[in-house]
Chain A
Amino acid sequence: MKVVYKKPEVLKNINFHFCPGCQHGLVHKIIAEAIDNFGIKDRCLAVIGVGCGVFLYDYFDVDSLEAPHGRGLAVATGVKRARPERIVFTYQGDGDLAAIGLAETVHAANRGENVSVFFVNNTIYGMTGGQMAPTTLLGQITTTSPYGREFQREGYPIRMAEMLATLEGVAFSARVALCTPKQLMDAKKAVKKAFQMQIEGLGFSFVEILSSCPTNWNMQSLDAIKRVEEEMIPFFPLGIYKERRVSDVL
């Protein structure tokens, strides 16, 4: 009998704690599949930011280090400099990476730290209960933008994948989503590519994953998926914004 589907080996036999309809579980799974694909489970070292992803170490059987809120890429810098042989990745949300940790993110990218970043953008602070994030869309109602985000007052949503692609130190920058089978396939490819960049020593790799948060959006799961497609993707276009090749650095 041929095995056509199985749970990734790096994942432990524990159920995710995520809310119904949340896509963090899916993001965990595609990262786990990529780790299995490269056979790098024992080399992997996860640097985990503060947010809904903080319990990643409960699910992944990899060495894990918890970073203070926003400081994931400073912590990852220290880890990678100390242990360049490890495959270091961070898992961060939009509050963590794009608000309080923006300086750490941009400078680690600009230094070309050879680490991979998985950035979950759900336009909201999930774990603290649905406050406005830097990625919150215009007009979006959150617990701290009860009248809807307005650019005169709160500025515009920030596009991280495009912004980081402008930096010389960045080897790979892409934005993906998980709403359709095609998007899922592209997301898997992008996550693999991010690890590959690191394995080849090409520099900073970044994958922004658009994700739903039905609980804090006050939506049914399917409506939340629809919102990603209809409202998020038009503002946060999918695609690869930068991809360096080995020949670029030789």
Chain B
Amino acid sequence: MEKLFLRGSESLALGAIDASLKFYAGYPITPQNDIPEFLSKELPKVGGKFVQAESEVAKINMLLGASACGIRVMTSSSSPGISLMQEGISYLAGSELPAVIVNVMRWGPGLGGIGASQGDYHQATKGGGHGDYFVPVFAPYSAQEMYDLIIKAFDVADEYRTPAMILVDVMISLMKEKVLRRYDKGIKVKEKKWAFGSKKEGDQKIIKSLYLKGNDLERHNWKLYEKYQKMCQKEVLYEAYLCDDAEIILIGFGMIARIGKSAVDLARERGIKAGLFRPISLIPFPERELENLSTKCENFLVVEMNTGQMVHDIKRVVGKDHNIGFYGKPSSYAPNPEELYLKIKEYLEK
């Protein structure tokens, strides 16, 4: 197990290679460019294929083709590029093809800006593309989690035959930290019997998302829903930090959770029993865990780098009887721990 000092983006790309990534299609967009740059150099060394596509639209469909052949596939982009790929993500979900999509979020709507943002929570968790499907979404908060969660995303994508997403902000992506390369000898991937092999074996294989006959489509959509239900049982990831005796719990994901941890420590030093709850899987959302916390704690403060998106899920789960505060920063300037501490204090004094 190698110990490395890596940027989040490099850690994620290295994790993808260790997870046996064999096909990556990319398109330049800031601030995710260091991922395709790294993979264009490293992927061919391990027998993988790197393609720079003519568009975001083309690259997600290249993934669809390569994934149907049973290899692990991935792409990365930033917000406007993810919007363009929604068609393909919907087709991947409908065709039950595994793929990993990384969104290093930037600002929107439109061209927005290139700074750290969490503006795509809704797009990532509430669909984005057309149709009735769920895409598992993981939100890393360190370079180590960039490595660990990309591997997790590949495993979940294969297990459930679904596209999976990493939703991350540029702060985590560009921050350099210690990373344990847990799988430096690589990961063995199970053979996919449903996929196209070197030649036709036995019956013709058809991979498609068009269902016109009878109630085939209804059955298909319930099947996709059952996969989501299974994910809700088995794939929920979260961290509860100092929540057991907390009088107030801060909730945030990604960079906000990272800053929030320092703010919680600061509050504890200054006599406020604060805790932090961070969803790591945004789909499936850690609903039961949050519900359990809401029986012990009354005060929740949700912090996001947007005008309030995940907070709606918190309200839905925790219910109306609780005090749910919200602090949003729809700008590239992340709050510092002191600022969050003051928000905690202000909230409790109200």
- Name the distance in Å between B85's Cβ and chain A's nearest Cβ: 11
Asked whether B207 lies within 8 Å of A74 as measured between CB atoms, the reply is: no
Asked whether A65 lies within 8 Å of B68 as measured between CB atoms, the reply is: yes
Q: Could you give, for residues 63-75 of chain B, a 1 whenever the CB lies within 8 Å of some chain A CB and a 0 otherwise?
A: 1111111110100
Residues of B within 8 A of A57 (CB): 204, 206, 208
Interface size class of B (residues with CB under 8 A): 35 or more
Binding stretch for chain A, among B54-62, B133-141, B248-256, B286-294: B54-62
> Which residues 200-238 of B have a CB within 8 angstroms of A?
200, 204-210
- Name the distance in Å between A37's Cβ and chain B's nearest Cβ: 17
Q: What is the CA–CA distance of A107 and B59 in the complex, to the nearest angstrom? A: 12
- Name the distance in Å between B210's Cβ and chain A's nearest Cβ: 6
- Name the distance in Å between A234's Cβ and chain B's nearest Cβ: 33
Asked whether B207 lies within 8 Å of A103 as measured between CB atoms, the reply is: no
Who on chain A is nearest to B53 by CB?
A74
Asked whether B51 lies within 8 Å of A79 as measured between CB atoms, the reply is: no
Asked whether B69 lies within 8 Å of A83 as measured between CB atoms, the reply is: yes
Contact check: which of A43, A64, A66, A103 meets B209 at CB < 8 Å?
Answer: A66
Asked whether A86 lies within 8 Å of B62 as measured between CB atoms, the reply is: no
- Name the distance in Å between A138's Cβ and chain B's nearest Cβ: 30
- Name the distance in Å between B36's Cβ and chain A's nearest Cβ: 16
Asked whether A82 lies within 8 Å of B49 as measured between CB atoms, the reply is: yes
Asked whether B62 lies within 8 Å of A74 as measured between CB atoms, the reply is: yes
Q: With an 8 A cutoff between CB atoms, is B300 at the interface?
A: no
Asked whether A71 lies within 8 Å of B61 as measured between CB atoms, the reply is: yes
State whether A104 and B199 are in contact (beta carbons under 8 Å apart), knowing that A67-B64, A68-B87, A74-B62 are contacts in the complex.
Answer: no
Asked whether A66 lies within 8 Å of B210 as measured between CB atoms, the reply is: yes
From B25, B65, B204, B210, name the one whose CB has the most chain A CB atoms within 10 angstroms. B65
- Name the distance in Å between A107's Cβ and chain B's nearest Cβ: 4
Q: With an 8 A cutoff between CB atoms, is A75 at the interface?
A: yes
State whether A47 and B206 are in contact (beta carbons under 8 Å apart), knowing that A82-B49, A82-B71, A86-B198 are contacts in the complex.
Answer: no
State whether A85 and B61 are in contact (beta carbons under 8 Å apart), knowing that A57-B206, A66-B208 are contacts in the complex.
Answer: no
Q: With an 8 A cutoff between CB atoms, is A155 at the interface?
A: no
State whether A78 and B61 are in contact (beta carbons under 8 Å apart), knowing that A63-B200, A86-B196, A107-B54 are contacts in the complex.
Answer: yes
Contact check: which of B65, B91, B206, B209 meets A82 at CB < 8 Å?
Answer: B65
> Which residues 75-125 of A have a CB within 8 angstroms of B?
75-83, 85-86, 103-104, 107
Q: What is the CA–CA distance of A54 and B212 in the complex, to the nearest angstrom? A: 12
> Count the A-B residue pairs with Cβ separation under 8 angstroms: how many?
121
Who on chain B is nearest to A40 by CB?
B199
State whether A74 and B200 are in contact (beta carbons under 8 Å apart), knowing that A64-B207, A81-B51, A103-B58 are contacts in the complex.
Answer: no
Q: With an 8 A cutoff between CB atoms, is A42 at the interface?
A: yes
Asked whether A81 lies within 8 Å of B23 as measured between CB atoms, the reply is: yes
From B54, B61, B64, B71, name the one whose CB has the most chain A CB atoms within 10 angstroms. B61
- Name the distance in Å between A4's Cβ and chain B's nearest Cβ: 28
Q: With an 8 A cutoff between CB atoms, is A199 at the interface?
A: no
- Name the distance in Å between A72's Cβ and chain B's nearest Cβ: 8
Asked whether A74 lies within 8 Å of B58 as measured between CB atoms, the reply is: yes
- Name the distance in Å between B145's Cβ and chain A's nearest Cβ: 29
Instruction: Report, nearest first, the 6 A-B pairs whose CB atoms are least far apart.
Output: A78-B65, A74-B61, A82-B69, A66-B208, A78-B66, A78-B62
Would you mind naming 29 contact pairs between A and B with Cβ atoms under 8 Å apart?
A54-B210, A57-B206, A57-B208, A63-B206, A64-B207, A65-B196, A65-B207, A66-B209, A66-B210, A68-B87, A71-B61, A71-B64, A74-B53, A74-B61, A74-B65, A75-B62, A77-B58, A78-B62, A79-B69, A80-B65, A81-B62, A82-B23, A83-B196, A85-B198, A85-B199, A103-B57, A104-B54, A104-B58, A107-B53
In the complex, given contacts A63-B204, A68-B64, A68-B91, what are 5 additional A-B residue pairs having Cβ atoms less than 8 angstroms apart?
Answer: A54-B210, A63-B205, A66-B209, A81-B23, A103-B55
